[in-house]
Structure 1
Amino acid sequence: MQSVLRILLTGLLGALWDGVAALGGVRLVDGYNKCSGRVEVRRHDQWGTVCDHGWDLPEAYVVCLELGCGLAEAALPNAAYGAGRGEIWLHHVQCSGHESSLTSCAVVLHTNSYCTHDNDASVKCSGSLLSPTLTLLSPHTVFTSGESVRFGCSVLLGHHLSDFHLYKHGVATPLVTQRADQTQTRVELTLSDIETFHQGSYSCRYRIKGGFPSQLLSSPPSNSVNITVVELLTPQHWYNTSTEAPAGSVIKGHSFNITCSTPQQYPGGSFQLRLIRSNGTVRQSLPALSPSVTFTFPSAQSANEGYYYCLYRVQLGGRTFLSRESQPLPIAIRDPDPVLSPMVISWLVSGLTFVVAVVIIIIVAKVLCNKEKKPSELERETRTCVDNTYVALSINKL
């Protein structure tokens, strides 16, 4: 008995397999274009129709993908594109929607059921894959180097999905690829550790498995999403003051300037100058209307002494970005030199005292030497007396 059943079962399976194997293709006829119409299959080199009993979107998906016509928009019963002719080759087709060909679905082959050509199944395909939608999952559109950007790529209908790709405009290869299960309609695509070259416009695509034989079909690109990547370089700074001031110093009461500069600037940016001194911190700010700005101090005072730092600040996309501070710039405030130094004054006093002493001695010597002398003799003696006095004073001074 078991042998008889095994023979009958083997024969039945053989007949089913022969019938399926004999199916040799699918086409759409009498539609508005090549991707809509009545579904026909070929068996033994003869085209026949498909009964609409159990005909639904999963079956229509398989047909559209097999023909490279994108995704199914409708599964139409009751000979929507007109009744066919010849045999009705397939009855009660049951697809999961993941098959690569209609012949891979569970079917009931040609029978004497009550299906007529008024029950011919039809489909309407999109003609091409639907474009996905790209959204920015990160809460802002402006980033700084080293951050991550999160995108979401979604498609309205999720059948036969293979993977999703994130593209940057102008770059042929995808920057991010994310596998997807066949029914997933949305994935997250994360662009990690971004740099300035990542700035630009992005779109996504998805691929589906379909066609006969099975192949990967790529969707049209999604909408575009733009991101900005900010890179703030450390500013440079220097100071200018009067030439007589020693290096690193400014003479009290003199003017001096501190200039901050950066090679990379953004609209609406500003420079901030920070002074750290013994009794606290002082900050100043100027708009960055050009790559360099100058902070002016018309009269240096002790309060201006300390360490100066410069940084660049900008607000973009609702976020505030700050550069690193520059290296410290130490500035000391020195008192001005007096007009005459104490040493010079000492020398002047000593010289003046010496001159006064000489004059007094000469006058006294004249008085003493002029007593009771003839005019000629008086003149000679006076000269000799003065000369001797001068020599004596010189010897004493030495």
Structure 2
Amino acid sequence: MCQICFSSESVRLGGASRCVGTVELKHQGEWRPAIDYDLRKAAVLCKHLDCGSAVSAVIRPKSSPADVLGISSDCFQSGSTQSECAAPNASNYTLDLICSDLLVQPIIQASSIDGVSEAQEQGLTVSRHSNFTISCSIQPQYPGGSFQLTFNSTNTAYSYTQPAVNHSAHFLFPAAVPAHQGNYSCVYHIYVFSHNFTAESHLLPVTVSEFVSLVGGPSRCAGTLELKHLGVWRPMDSSDWTIKAASVICEHLDCGSAISVEWREDSTEKSVWKIQDGCIESGSAIKECLQLWLSSFSLYLTCSDSVRLLNGSSLCSGRLEVKSNQSWSSVCEADFDQQDAEVVCRELGCGPPSVLQGTLYGEVEAPVWSKEFQCGGHESALLDCRSSGSARNSCSPGKAVGLTCSEPHDLRLVGGASRCAGSLELKLGDWRPVEASEWILGKAAVICEHLHCGSLDYVEARNESLLRSVWRLKPDCVQSGCALRECVTSEYSLMIMNFTCSDLLVQPNIHASSMDGVFEAQQQGLQVSSRSNFTISCSIQPQYPGGSFQLTFTSSNTAYSYTQPAVNHSAHFLFPAAVPAHQGNYSCVYHIYVFSHNFSSESRQLSVAVSPPAAPTVHTITGVILLLILLIVITALYFCWKASREQTLSRKDTDVVYYNYSDHGEGGSAEDESRQGGEEDLKEAHLKSN
């Protein structure tokens, strides 16, 4: 094998750095250029100088002959020392050698709020979601160049590149996550001497540590919340944690959305971390909100494992993202339907889906879920659903799934006579009473509105005999329009809230009847003829005994009311003769005194219209005239018939007299008198008849 024995003080490269330049040998105390080096010999020299391998060896002419040292090839190959092989020689040439390790080694350094670590040390341990920076630098040799930050872990490898500014570059990581855990190195790149050169730093290991964790649950996204502060792990106190504040923890743990917050009681008091009230909601870092506390209660938090909604107006709305293989992906609108949405809303602890539409909560963001979901609607989690076998390559802008789930029906009044009276209870995982603190009459009205129970009549605090687990519902948060589940913290208390809302009673019924028919309040109203009787009846579903009905009337000119006691939960108001003054709108108001307060409930309105007496028409007049003419004709015919009948009777009577007269034949004078008397009688009868 070819060898040459160099001493460290007898050879050098006379150039811009120790690994580039003219080869020079020291002979008899004097440095002189060397010649007769080829690339094979130069490789030995680069290695001897700890400059890597030889990149190029170029013989360059000189302007005038100079004393150089020549190396005998035979001597070189024999293994003799350099001093034995070198001999002065006059030459017009020199040898320029470039070795691969032209550059000095870069320096890598990492820093965070947790400290500063050098590459030669153990590395950097950074808290999850803390900012950290990796800096690359190199001793000034050549202007320009660039730094490449390389990363390698068990799962992946990637790199980032920045130009070298003042011989350095800084790579900022705004929020450390487990994917940042691995080995980093700085590689410096520069183009000099017509060649590309690189130099790499030592490896710097970075470890991402959790200072927040959920322990004792079925997954890493559910359990008792513990936090590491000042080097000590302690549970979190459960007070003052709303589900909205808890969502910060879920996000920090790279879990999905917050689903519920609960209290868990231990047998003894212990040291815990307590969050200052409202500190997290203000945007402060979690560690800035901590103080040491003694408590026997700790917070149990449940986050969704693999789905979340982003950029929404509440925890139940936003752009849908799904987590798989430690990565979150948007979902294409074409790959998602109503049954899929039902599964997601149920998984997040929300109500049924109300809006399913893209572009509501931002454009599609990469990566995109590649397969179509095929849920049946009954699954407990989205990733339990079947999916299509074919993969989708892209998703158009504005076509990411935007989902709005309805808020869960999680508020009720119990223990009262109706759904609008009783103790206030809230469901957030389980049903619990609401603590009495902070609720005053003005703020409590929002509860009746939320329950669709009208306005608030009164609210009072009731003292329980035993300390019990309750929800603390913050009234200012509720009044601001936030969803109820975002305004709740867990407490233990003796005082709970009792509400009585104005819509304690069901709505009365109203209907009207007359000789013209029966009309309900839901119809157009009652049309009654003038002077006809009509009745308006009020009734209510049985709830409480007694009470009274007030029939109110309003028209364009007047308003008045009538009152009757409720008999069998009803009352009937009789109007014996309808007149125009009865025309207007009627309603039934039920009044009753219960729970030491007066309550009332009003029916819908019923309109009553009164028809005036009908004016004579042309047809009516014509009918009357014809009737009169007919009556006259009948009367005239009657008298004509009667006169004709009398004349007939008169002729019959005359024939009889004359017949008698002819039979006797004697007593002419007597017969004449008798005939004359008969004629006078007939005349008299005729006059009487006329």
Asked which structure has the greater CA Rg, the reply is: 2
- The verdict on a shared fold, with TM-score over 0.5 as the criterion, is no
Hey, which of these two has a bigger chunk of strand by percent?
Answer: 2
TM-score bracket for the superposition, by shorter chain length? 0.3 to 0.5
- TM-score normalised by length of structure 2: 0.23
